[in-house]
Amino acid sequence: MRVLIVGSGGREHALAWKLAQSPGLEKLYCAPGNPGISRVAECVDIAADDIANLKKWALQEKIELTIVGPEAPLVLGLTDHFQADGLKVFGPDSRGARLEGSKVWAKEKMKQWGIPSPAFAVFDNFDRARSHLSRFYGGPVVIKADGLAAGKGVTVASGPSEAEQALYDIMIEQKFGEAGNRVVIENCLSGEEVSVLAVTDGKKLAFLPSSQDHKAIGEGDKGPNTGGMGAYSPAPIYSGELARRTEEQVFRPLLKGFNDLGIDFRGVIYAGLMVSKEEFNVLEFNVRFGDPEAQALIPRMQSDLLPLLAAAAAGDLGGLQVEWKNDPAVCVVMASKGYPGSYEKGILIEGIEQAEQSGAGKVAVFHAGTAVKNECLVTAGGRVLGVTAWDSDLPGALDRVYYACDQIKFEGAYFRRDIAHRALQH
């Protein structure tokens, strides 16, 4: 099968790394890709949001399956345009992608379909939104930009002044552009977050193991949110009973709601849950593999990934069985100094080969923000690398991943050393 991956980050590298191992693969491309992906796929110099040229190229190269990594091309309608010319796509059309593209739409649908979620209010006016904050009496509150903000559009404010500043940044300063024209103000829940992903053909579901992301920049989950500083799988808090209830109360009502709207959702549904004493609420939905969750999940997959994604895109998962390794996995993100704020690019990266060799076949380094300059690998983003390791138990995986991280050097490199701290407590 001739396959195109759209995207250029760590998630896309993890997908390419796994797909390259498939005996059913004839040729693997990635647009635009990155230096790490170029080791396992042919990179095509077309931007992920350049839908017209991507479609033209896919038709020319007779691509049989396109896998969309990031959310933005899905929201822009890549699937709609590709399917109009008979191209199969793993990823929902623009109607289904609204689940992530608009937090307001998602919250309203969760309420309509009876999916457990925190109480909320929606505002398109700064003064009215600020006035609403008085209801929280100095306690924590969550402020969310309505549209896409690269994982950074959510602020968990400890009190009114921080919440008001978040509103000002989003609605007045337009920190996230048009994505901040509306905001969701949401009750802040306590507990432990869990990421639950399922591949769907629009009717059936194939669940992936649980995982947990670490969004805050600082250790102890302190500081501003990022696109994700690390992840691990599985999450011990996600019990079998909780998994059953999540399928019944979240995923099944969601699919039924889509079907009632005439939305044929083929791709990944990602539910971010807040769990407290066997009770749960949905904090957010995404319509693609998580990043960095994918880097922790995909190495745990025993089965061939290609038949699963192809079957979902074709609209028929059938009786396809997916097998997973018992080994837990941990991904640690190595970031540029200053991220998620401003940071320098073009800094020399060394030691990736040594890091991968250190793991005895149980370490993979996924490129997220890298480039080649004067034949040298350099930084090209805030999140630079996702270092993943797996082992027979979590402490072993953590030993491997942090040893590997210590082999990689670039000036100002930063990474959290407490990834999976909650799992260790369990």
Q: How many whole angstroms separate alpha carbon 208 and alpha carbon 199?
A: 8
Q: How many whole angstroms separate alpha carbon 143 and alpha carbon 162?
A: 10
Contact partners, residue 125, CB within 8 Å, separation at least 6: none
What is the predicted pLDDT for the residue at 160?
83
CATH topology of 2-91 equal to that of 329-425?
no
- Reported as a single tens digit per residue, the pLDDT across 251-264 is 999 999 999 999 99
What residues does each domain of the chain span?
2-91, 125-181, 190-314, 329-425
Q: What is the pTM of this model?
A: 0.95
- What fold, for 190-314? D-amino Acid Aminotransferase; Chain A, domain 1 (3.30.470)
- The 3-state DSSP composition of the chain as helix, strand, coil percent (nearest 5) reads 35, 25, 40
What is the predicted pLDDT for the residue at 139?
78
Considering the domain delimited by 329-425, tell me its CATH architecture.
Alpha-Beta Complex (3.90)
Q: How many whole angstroms separate alpha carbon 42 and alpha carbon 90?
A: 19
Question: With respect to CATH, is domain 2-91 assigned 3.40.50.20?
Answer: yes
Domain 125-181 class?
A: alpha beta
Q: Find where tokens 């300063």 sit.
A: 173
What is the predicted pLDDT for the residue at 149?
87
Q: How many whole angstroms separate alpha carbon 55 and alpha carbon 83?
A: 10
DSSP 248: I
- Reported as a single tens digit per residue, the pLDDT across 36-93 is 999 999 999 999 999 999 999 999 999 999 999 999 999 999 999 999 999 999 999 9
- Ranges of residues in the chain with a pLDDT under 70 are 137-138
The DSSP line for 299-351 is GGB-S-HHHHHHHHHHT--TT----B-S--EEEEEEE-TTTTS------B-B-
Alpha helices in 90-217 (DSSP H): 94-101, 103-113, 126-132, 160-167
What is the predicted pLDDT for the residue at 407?
98
Q: How many whole angstroms separate alpha carbon 23 and alpha carbon 304?
A: 8
Give the 3-state secondary structure of residue 360.
coil
Smallest CA-to-CA distance from 282 within 92, 100, 153, 124 is with 100
Contact partners, residue 38, CB within 8 Å, separation at least 6: none
